[in-house]
Amino acid sequence: MATVESVAHDEDLDEVLAEFQGDLNLIFTRARSLWKESAARIHPDLQPAGYKLLSHIARAGSASAHLLSERFELDKSAVSRQIRMLEDLGLVASRPDEHDGRLRVLTATAEAEAALVGVRRAHVDRLRRILAELTPEELRAASKVFRLLAEV
C-alpha cells in the first residue's frame, strides 16, 4: 500500500520527468535548426542529412555507405542520394575499398574539412558561452545523463 509520502514523491518525480522531457524536445528542435544552419555554412545546397553524414565521415576519417546507413538508421537509398549530392558538391571523394572492391570508401575532401573546421569552431565557441556558468562537475553530470539516454 502506497503511503502519502510515496505518492507525493511519485507525483513530484512525474512532474520533473515531464519537464525534463519537454526540455529534451527543445534541445532536439534546436539541434535540427543547428544542423540546417551548419549545412548551409558548408554549402547552400547541402541538406541537414548530408551534413550529418559528412560530419561523421570527416570525424571517422572514412566510411562506407553501408556503415552510414546502419549508424544513422537510414534507408540505403536515402544514404545513396545524400552521398551522390556530397560528391556532386565536391565535399566527398569515393574510392574502391582495398579489401573488397565492391564497396566504396568515402572521405571528406580538403574543401569539406576546411569548412567543417569553421563550423566546429563556431559550435565550440557557442557552447563555451552558453555553458560558462556551469562547473566541470555539472558538465560531467550532464554528460552522464546524455550517455545514459544514448544507451537506451
Residue 78 CA: distances (Å) to CA of 46, 50, 109: 14, 10, 21
Identity of the amino acid at 89? L
Evaluate whether 111 touches 61 at the Cβ level (below 8 Å).
Answer: no
Task: Report the interhelical angle of 4-42 vs 110-131 (nearest 10°).
Answer: 140
User: Given a cut of 90, is residue 3 above it in pLDDT?
Assistant: no
pTM over 0.75: yes
Task: Grade residue 2 by pLDDT with cuts at 50, 70 and 90.
Answer: low
User: Given a cut of 70, is residue 100 above it in pLDDT?
Assistant: yes
Instruction: Determine how many CB atoms are found less than 10 A away from the CB of residue 150.
Output: 7
Task: Grade residue 90 by pLDDT with cuts at 50, 70 and 90.
Answer: very high
What pLDDT is stored for residue 113 in this prediction? 97
Closest by CA position to 39, among listed 52, 58, 57? 52
Evaluate whether 84 touches 72 at the Cβ level (below 8 Å).
Answer: no
Please name every residue paired with 96 in a beta bridge, in sequence order, or none if there are none: 104
What pLDDT is stored for residue 5 in this prediction? 65
**Per-residue pLDDT tens digits for 36-63:** 999 999 999 999 999 999 999 999 999 9
User: Given a cut of 80, is residue 15 above it in pLDDT?
Assistant: yes
Backbone angles phi, psi at 107, to 5 degrees: -135, 150
All structural domains of the chain = 4-150 (1.10.10.10)
